[in-house]
Amino acid sequence: MRLYVDNSKCSGCNACRVACSLNLFGENNPKKAALVIEPQFPAPGVYNVKVCTQCGDCAAVCPTEAIKQDEQGAYYVDFAECNLCEACVPECPEEVMFIRSKLADTAWKCDLCGDCVAVCGTSALWIAEKEAVAA
Amino acid sequence: MNGYGGRILRVNLTNGTVTKEPTPPDVARDFIGGRGFGIYFLLKEVPKGADPLGPENKLIISSGPISGLMIPGGGKCDWTTKAPLTGGYASASMGGHFTAEMRYAGLDSIVLEGISPKPVYLFIDDDKIELRDASDLWGKATFAVEKQFKEKLGEEFQVAVIGVGGENLVPYACINHDYGRQAGRGGVGAVMGSKKVKAIVVHGTKSIPVADMDAYRKAGMALYKACKDSEGLKDWTRYGTTIVVSWCDEVGALPTRNFSAGSFEDGKNLYGPVMREKIVITDKGCFGCPSPCGKYSRNKKYNSYVEGPEYETIGLMGSNLGIDDIEAVAQANLLCDDLGIDTISAGNVIGWAMECYEKGIFTKKDTGGLDLKFGNVEATFTLIDKIAHREGFGALLAEGVKRASKKVGKGSEKFAIHVKGMEQSAYATHNATAMLLAYMTCDVGAHHNRAWAITYDLQVGREKVVPEKVARVIWLQNFRPMFDVLGGCRLQWVELGIDRDLYVPALEAITGIHRSWEDLDKVGERLWNLTRLFWARENEGFGRAWDMPSPRFYEEAPKSGATKGQITKIEDVNRLLDMYYEQRGWTSDGLPKPETIESLGLKAVVA
């Protein structure tokens, strides 16, 4: 399973990012979210959304094995075991592996909790089996 | 303090100092946030008789307790000040992402005080707060300035900026944000311009504390679910506010040729589906919104991009000017945004000027050679530019329709469509008595959003003048602005029809204080009375005469359209006011009685 996005449906509202930070950290803080919305305004007037594909490249390079897989196949960061070495960040092809040491003493990423999907009013986000592109 | 950033930022522009003070807990308890904070600080801190464009006036920018949280529509920012347009109270609500970012920087309100000796911008990056030189930005258009900041500082920064309209103190200048969201009405942009503040940029990385995290997340999810389950979600998201253009045209509420009628013979070219098909490319949402009404457009005819136009702009820059080309309306919208003037006031005053021209009150000699007939698109574009720059004929229209018509005279005051000096927004009210009363008594002047009562008129009989209608207007006026107090948007309740009780557990979980809607409506009633007292304090002789609508709605019936031959009798206008004042606990001259002030617990606030 993985998270999918249809950029053309995103309205840039950021509800997903607040829901994400609440799930990951129990905080209202979209700067600690695991997905990115890049507004491209005034032209061409679209949002570019980056989400985790659960490819596992981050886990493969993690020297402390802090990035683990849960029963549904989602990779998540075990905060207690992350040592902020940053090896994972450049490996992420989607640029959604995060370290902001001023904000948290751990790396973080999408754990496929689905809260972003629950709050997305325009159905731009959904979770499906890998390779199944349509919602 | 749960539910709050906990700090008020004071910016003294005269001295160039910035200081933070704790948000007073009793003010948070009694006034909650947003508009509530705005009127509290305005009454307490702006001295009686302050020049709206002078150093004593303040611009009070406030978020609310649901701003920036996982609550649908928590993206509204309140801008309160003494209005240069009306000399009374102004509170403009701005969507987008600015209010959320203020909260992530730990700020509940920003209070701009004094006047800077030179152009500056306010830079906020968490606790790094500075006034910086803006000499190189002065004179620049809003989109260019926002883009410059975003490129320099990054997309996480949010930008609010004035255009040349604000710099030139046009009394209906607006403040722009997120390439298409505005604090639009009453001249908040002129106040910012008078203070020589070109822009405010804000970025924050703090978390907003709440009282009960689990209950808040549950309540937030329940609100989003209700929105997503709503039957209205699909169409509202597709068309946004333009969904009402066709309805207004059909029922005679679409302002046409300076409100001389309520239906436009070419109105179909401006309907929501036509616009969607022709120019809309992206649904653009404010912070946290599940039902984005922002329609972002690619305008091929003019090779431009613009957010909108929304209903109000279509009404005022379209049908009200006899223009039936949606791309022309979109371009007029863009020009106003980029120059920083309110599309509603600008469209209204240009409509008045066109009527003057067609009646021979103005000739080409007056208009600087412009052939100001209804429907002239190029003349409209030219005038928007001249208004913002206060050039030639534009300088007269830049005064606003009340002052301009008073200067010109020749009977033109009778078709200057305003209340208290604020140009009426886009509902023609020849025969819609609740909506007419809503405009007459609105706390900022003739604006629609406090009590959008026109559907109620249609439900119960539009010409009826009965106490129930007046009660409905009062209830809406108390209740709807509470969303501006909470720092959120009312449209999930209005358009998606979600149960307003769903907000009650959310607000309690956020702030730790239980408030039922009965309690919140009471807060709304207190604020409504306070704004009335502000008007009375600032304007000698303030009273009933200030609530009168344009004579157009009681003297001149439309000659065409759905309201052809229909009018509200002057006796009914007065009966509406009598009933309204009585139900409000106000005198027959429209002032809150001492016992009303007492019973609402407001004596200390206005002392």
> Measured between alpha carbons, how far is B338 from B40 in angstroms, rounded to an integer?
32
Domain ranges of chain B: 7-203, 243-423, 433-497+516-606
Complex ipTM, two decimals?
0.96
- One DSSP character per residue, B198-250 reads EEEEEE--PPPP-S-HHHHHHHHHHHHHHHHH-TTHHHHHHHGGGGGHHHHHH
pTM for the whole structure? 0.97
- Three-state DSSP at A38 gives strand
Residue A134 lies in a domain: no
Does A11 reside within a domain?
Answer: yes
Alpha-carbon separation of residue B494 from B73, B393, B465, B519 (angstroms)? 12, 40, 24, 20
Contact between chains at A13 and B290 (C-beta distance less than 8 A):
yes
- Residue A108 forms beta bridges with which residues? A98
Residue with tokens 């919104």: B289
- Exposed / middle / buried, residue B238 (Cβ in 10 Å: 0-12, 13-18, 19+): middle
pLDDT score at B592: 98
CATH architecture assignment, domain B7-203: 4-Layer Sandwich (3.60)
Q: What is the 3-state secondary structure (H, E, C) of A59-99?
A: HHHCCCCCEEECCCCCEEECHHHCCCCCCHHHHCCCCCCEC
Q: What total number of domains does chain A contain?
A: 1
The SS3 of residue A53 is coil
Quick: pLDDT tens for B413-458. 999 999 999 999 999 999 999 999 999 999 999 999 999 999 999 9
User: Any idea how long chain A is?
Assistant: 135
Q: How far is residue A45 from each of residues A94, B281, B283, measured CA to CA in Å?
A: 21, 8, 10
Tell me the chain B residues in contact with residue A18 when contact means C-beta distances shorter than 8 Å: 68-70, 288
Q: Is B322 left (phi over 0), alpha (psi -120 to 50) or beta?
A: left
CA B254 – CA B265 distance, rounded (Å): 11
- Residues A61/A48, Cβ–Cβ less than 8 Å: no
Both tokens assigned to A109: 């990423």
Burial class from Cβ neighbours inside 10 Å (0-12, 13-18, 19+) for residue B504 reads middle
Q: What does the pLDDT look like over B352-395, one tens digit per residue?
A: 999 999 999 999 999 999 999 999 999 999 999 999 999 999 99
Question: Which CATH fold topology does B243-423 show?
Answer: 1.10.569
* Assigned fold of B433-497+516-606: 1.10.599
Q: Nearest CA of chain A to the CA of B235: how many Å?
A: 12
pLDDT at B43: 96
* Residue B408 near residue B356 (C-beta atoms within 8 A): yes
B536-583 confidence digits (pLDDT tens) = 999 999 999 999 999 999 999 999 999 999 999 999 999 999 999 999
Round to whole Å and give the CA distance between A110 and A51: 8
CATH for A19: 3.30.70.20
From the list B147, B221, B292, the residue facing A13 with the nearest CB is B292
Q: Give the residue numbers spanning the domain of A35.
A: 2-128
Q: Which residue out of B76, B128, B282, B300 would a mutagenesis test of the A interface target, given it has the greatest number of A Cβ atoms within 10 Å? A: B282
HEC string of B295-350 equals EEEEECCCCEEEECCCHHHHHHHHHHHCCCCHHHHHHHHHHHHHHCECHHHHHHHH
CB-CB under 8 Å, B147 with A42? yes
Q: Containing H/E element for B372?
A: none
Q: Which of A9, A15, A38 sits opposite B290 (nearest CB)?
A: A15
| pLDDT over 70 at B176, yes or no | yes
